[in-house]
Every structure is written in C-alpha cells, then in structure tokens.
Amino acid sequence: MATPESPFKPGILRGKVALVTGGGSGIGLEITRQLGLHGASVVISGRREQVLRDACAALGGEGVAAHYVQGDVRKFGDCERMAAAAVQRFGRLDVLVNCAAGNFLSPAEQLSSNGFRTVLEIDTLGTFHMCRAAFEHLKQAGSSGGALIINISMTLHYGATWWQAHASAAKAAVDSLTRSLGLEWGHYGIRTAGVAPGPIEGTAGMTKLAPGSDGEANMQKLMSAAIPLGHMGRPWDIAQTCVFLASPAAAFMTGHTLVVDGGEWMCKPALVPREVVTRVSRGVEAKSRAVGLAGGANGGGAGGGPRSKL
C-alpha cells in the first residue's frame, strides 16, 4: 500500500527534541523519521551501532537532523547517557519514545526464567529506566511548553495471546506505567501516552511472531481475515499517531494508550455468517414474538399478557 502524505503541517514539531529508543529500525525508525520530517530534532538509541549509524545517514539524506547513542535500556547508566546525549546535542529533551522491545514466541512451559526475565527487562524495566533517566530533562521541558513520553505497547494482554506470556506480562506493566506516570507527572507538565500497534507489515515483529508463512502476500491474506479493516498496518500509521500525540492537538491527553491495529484485538469469528443473519433473523424474531403473544393470551407468557394490560 502506498504511503500517503502526512495530514500534519511539516513544521508542527519545530523546536522540539525527541529521543526514540529502538529508533534504528522498524517502527522506531519510522517514528523517528516522521517526528523529524515534522520539524523535531531526533536522537535514536539501540544496541547495534552500525544499524544506528546507517539510520542516521538515511535520515540525514531526507533532511532530518539525527544523532545516535549506542546503549542498552536494561542498563540504567546507559539510559542516563542517552538522555544526557540528547540534551548535549540539541539543548533540551521534549519527547521520549520508548520503542525498544524484545520478543519471541515460546510456549510458557518451555520458557526459562531467564527468557521471561529478559523480555520484562527490555520492555518493562527498560521503559521505566528511560522515563526515570529522562525525568529531570523532561521536567524542564514540561515547565516551558510541555513534555511527552510515548510508550510503544501491544494489545496482547487485552485478552490473552498464545505463546506470549512473557511479552503480554511485560506490555501490561508498560500500560500500567503509562497511567501511573500520567497521574504523577502531569503536575510537571509531562504528558504520557501509549500506542499499541497491531500487525504491522515489514517489521521484525511480524517476521518473528508470524513465522512459517509463504511470504508477505500469504501473510497479508491470512491477516486480513483477522483484521476488521482488512489489511495490516504500516509503520507510517504508528508514526503518524506519535506525531499527533506530540502535536498541540493532543495537549489535553495523558495516561491513555491508543490502539492502532485495524480492530485486530477485538476481532473474533462470527458464530453465524452474515448471509444467514440477513436471511433468517427477521423470521426468527417474528416466530419468537408469535410464541410470546400466544403464551400471553393463555395467561402464562412473559411477553404478550402483561404488555396487553398496560
């Protein structure tokens, strides 16, 4: 699907500085790109230096002022370094996007203690680390125009998701953190928000979490049956949501997680097909009323009797 033009003004985020963890690839890179194309100065972080360097070069080619810091969100010292680097390079920090995440499929009975801990450490602890390490900088921005934390989440834990006990627990905690910090830090002019993507095409998440398909086209077909809007999302969809959240249009929102999934999380198969409903529903209703009225006439029904006396 072709990427549409942004509906937002190009300079809507001018003067803002954003730090995106996991910003070197996938959804994080597109978030960085869109924040930058809308005027923000951007800093990306991640564990693989070459990936970060390549991403900055590509962003620079599109006119986006980008800087990178290598680091691991599991280490608090690295997070302090990342936040400080953004301020050192661009003078302030207004927007923190926690996009770094780790995941894999595993049946719970085969998941080791370390496997469970690793995902919680990257997703949950890493998110808290970054928020905490950036707090003083964000607080400063909060007192002069407003600051924002965006936590990239998931919808796995709204119900329950097969083979994802670790990531579901981790993202449930992230959503909780979005609310807690929204509550506690609004006072400092720091808003919080979550974005929960559904299946997004061309990402590591899709490659890892939906393996074994016969290629992208087949995956698109399988997915469209499970998504009310009929197709997978694009990194662009998530990135535009972040631009909206960072824009003045969302200035009164905090603590809330926006689901951007084409309706996937709430989708379940229809027990009765649409054609059958269309064909038989009125007949079934008429029959049920007829039974009710007959019962009422005999004095024993719940439907016809009492209604006729009113």
Residues engaged in binding ligand COA (CB under 6 A): 101-104, 106, 111-112, 114-115, 118-119, 204-205, 208
Which CB atom, from 54 or from 253, has the smaller least distance to ligand COA? Answer: 54
Q: Please give the DSSP secondary-structure letter assigned to residue 270.
A: -
Which of 145, 43, 32, 131 has its CA nearest to residue 86?
43
Q: Closest CB to ligand COA among 191 and 234? A: 234
> Could you give the CA distance from residue 33 to residue 41 in angstroms, rounded to a whole number?
10
| Residue with Cβ nearer ligand COA (198 or 255) | 198
Q: Which is nearer to ligand COA, 118 or 161 (CB)?
A: 118
CB of 166 to ligand COA, least distance (A): 9
CA 176 to chain centre: 14
What kind and span of H or E run contains 97? Answer: strand 95-98
DSSP annotation of 103: -
CB of 105 to ligand COA, least distance (A): 6
Q: Where are the alpha helices (DSSP H) in 92-234?
A: 113-120, 126-142, 165-185, 204-209, 216-226
Cβ(137)–Cβ(86) below 8 Å:
yes
Q: 3-state DSSP call for residue 301?
A: coil
Burial of 137 (0-12, 13-18, 19+ CB in 10 A): buried
The nearest distance, CB 81 to ligand COA, in angstroms, is: 19
- Cβ proximity to ligand COA: between 172 and 204 the closer is 204
Would you call 222 helix, strand, or coil by DSSP? Answer: helix
Q: Measured from the CB of residue 168, what is the shortest distance to ligand COA in angstroms?
A: 12
Q: Which of residues 31 and 147 has its CB atom nearest to ligand COA in the complex?
A: 31
Query: Residue 148: which of 182, 180, 122 has the closest Cα?
Result: 182
- Whole-angstrom Cα distance, residue 94 to residue 15? 9
Spatial distance between the Cα atoms of 40 and 29, rounded to a whole number of angstroms = 14
Please identify the residue of the shown chain whose CB is closest to the bound ligand COA. Answer: 102
> What is the CA 134 to chain-centroid distance, rounded?
21
**Residue (208 or 307) nearer to ligand COA, CB:** 208
Helices 76-90 and 126-142, interaxial angle, to 10°?
Answer: 30
Contact between 295 and 283 under an 8 Å Cβ cutoff? The reply is no
Nearer to ligand COA, 50 or 112 (CB): 112
Output the smallest distance, CB 114 to ligand COA, in A. Answer: 4
Give min distance, CB of 190 to ligand COA, in A.
26
Minimum Å distance from CB 274 to ligand COA?
33
